Amino acid sequence: MQKDLIKIHPQVQKALNEGRAVVALESTIISHGLPRPRNHEAALEFEEILRSKNVVPATIAVINGVANIGLDVTALDIISNQDIAKASVRDLPILAAKELSGATTVAATAHLAALAGIRVFATGGLGGVHKGANQTFDESADLSVLANTPITVVSAGVKSVLDIAATLERLETLSVPVVGYKTNIFPSFWLRESEYTLEYRADSPLEIAHMMVAQDLIGEGGGIVVANPVPEDKAWNKQDHDRVLQTAFAAAEKAGVRGKEVTPFLLQFIVEESKGKSLEVNLDLARNNVSVAGDIALAYANLGDD
């Protein structure tokens, strides 16, 4: 088999060639994380947030076996309205060989973005270590990929259905820096705070841009996690959050859900149990992450002008 497996949108390639700001966006949140047609509206909105800052968006997905770095109208329609696979890094060669489409996870998006030369990536929540992983060994590929991929990921922490303490330990072991954006406390996705503090914080996009340069020079070649809390007025009420999560975990246990099906089951259950509140917070934190990622990408692109 000999064919082009990566297709970079002309606008994205032009921006990269010119050293302009580009931000990668994942497609799993569109294909699997939001209901139709809300998902298509969100995809357009996330891209527009970046364009309004003079940043080029690069939503990433696999379309008919080809990794698209930046989506045209047809590709965006496919990920928004067709039932396609959820693709992590391990799935990419299979989709390519079979010429199938797939929505990229954090791991796959980070990997493909870095191959294209994109340095900043915005997502909702990072994957991590699942509760009970000491027995199931259930850990997201997001973590190992970030250990080997030179990209800065802006997220609202990790999804609070995961084991946050174990996730932070794994990131430390993998030498992935975790930096709080205007906070010393690691956020918990729908909540602004968890019970875990951070050693490092950054109070401006420029600080993070300098960290990226330093990571390139003296780091191990991996990425940086920027932990960006959901805005205070958009966060979920903690009491309601805790109640819904407890109910969700009980439902998953009763249903016997295992492996990679756990998180989608929990998130869908939480949306229904919260009567859509979790979905609205998810959208708000994603918008905030996209905006901050755009600012970081601009700061990084402008370093060469100093």
Task: Say which CATH architecture domain 1-118 belongs to.
Answer: 3-Layer(aba) Sandwich (3.40)
Nearest Cα to 142, choosing from 231, 52, 69, 225? 225
Rg, the chain, Cα only: 18
Q: What is the rounded distance in angstroms from the CA atom of residue 103 to the CA atom of residue 31?
A: 6
At position 59, the amino acid (one-letter code) is: T
> What is the pTM (predicted TM-score) of this model?
0.93
Q: Indicate which residues carry an active-site annotation.
A: 26, 159
Q: What is the rounded distance in angstroms from the CA atom of residue 152 to the CA atom of residue 156?
A: 13
Q: 48 vs 17, 97, 145, 213, 245, CA distance in Å?
A: 21, 33, 28, 27, 32
Give the H/E segment covering residue 239: helix 238-255
Token pair of 110 as six digits: 């980070």
CATH number belonging to domain 123-306 = 3.40.1790.10
pLDDT (tens place) for every residue of the chain, 306 residues total: 446 899 999 999 999 999 999 999 999 999 988 888 999 999 999 999 999 999 999 999 999 999 999 999 999 999 999 999 999 999 999 999 999 999 999 999 999 999 999 999 999 999 988 777 666 777 789 999 999 999 999 999 998 788 899 999 999 999 999 999 999 999 999 899 999 999 999 999 999 999 999 999 999 899 999 999 999 999 999 999 999 989 998 998 889 887 667 777 887 899 899 998 999 999 999 999 999 999 999 999 999 655
**Where exactly does CATH 3.40.1790.10 map onto the chain?**
1-118, 123-306
